[in-house]
Structure 1
């Protein structure tokens, strides 16, 4: 990784100055730097100030940047069975997979995420319409049948299983 394609991490995002600076230096030298800004969202600063600032700068000056806002919550698991909080975990898995793999599922016709057997069945029923997809991320508890795997393979769609570690740590395993 060179300096012009670095990833800049700022754990004290504030008003988004670091993100703005990264955008500007990329513009100056045609760099491909990315940035990750983190905050505890005290006084709603992330949502109302940081994200809004970067969104407006992007719309007015850059117009082609992928800007995402992720919010995570603590999900208490103590004295609860897994099935009692599994749906809460799944609500955030999409965002975590996007972050870890630097991808965007929104309006993406090449990469899909499927978190239930019902979603997989629907995807397979519309496989002709979904033929442009190249990768499918399957939830850890979604099991494709041999027939489904074969159809995906024949359509050159790679299967990536979402790792169990998204869930195990929160289960206390």
Structure 2
């Protein structure tokens, strides 16, 4: 094992990607996931997971969604899983950041800790996927039930969730190479050959 401390470049890149993913997931809670365009007055209504703001002020989630068609229930479930996603991805980000200050760890320790961090990343990805599914369900129901005077479209929050998921998956892939790749190869290269 090499002496001294040094940056693990894959983990550094992974941490940056995890930070971007965390920002995207947090923005998911603060941006509209459904946009309702009313052709009668040419106005847009925005529906978000926490609150929805327009020229009339802020209203809580599902203020335009009818409980009868299930759109509201799906949005409420999406809000719950998005909150879980935020908690998990912040833990993932903190863990990735902590690895940068851990110095040179033995490969066994690095792999063990890395496995736990990647497992946390998998849980985060699952929570984000479920959030996207519930938003998609609410969007589908809203489109099916919309009258001719309304056009329902995905909001910025929907695409934000997808970008966050992609960043997280790439971050996990890069972290995997940092935990299981170059460090182990270097240690194996430093092992002296035994004569027979």
TM-score by length of 2: 0.27
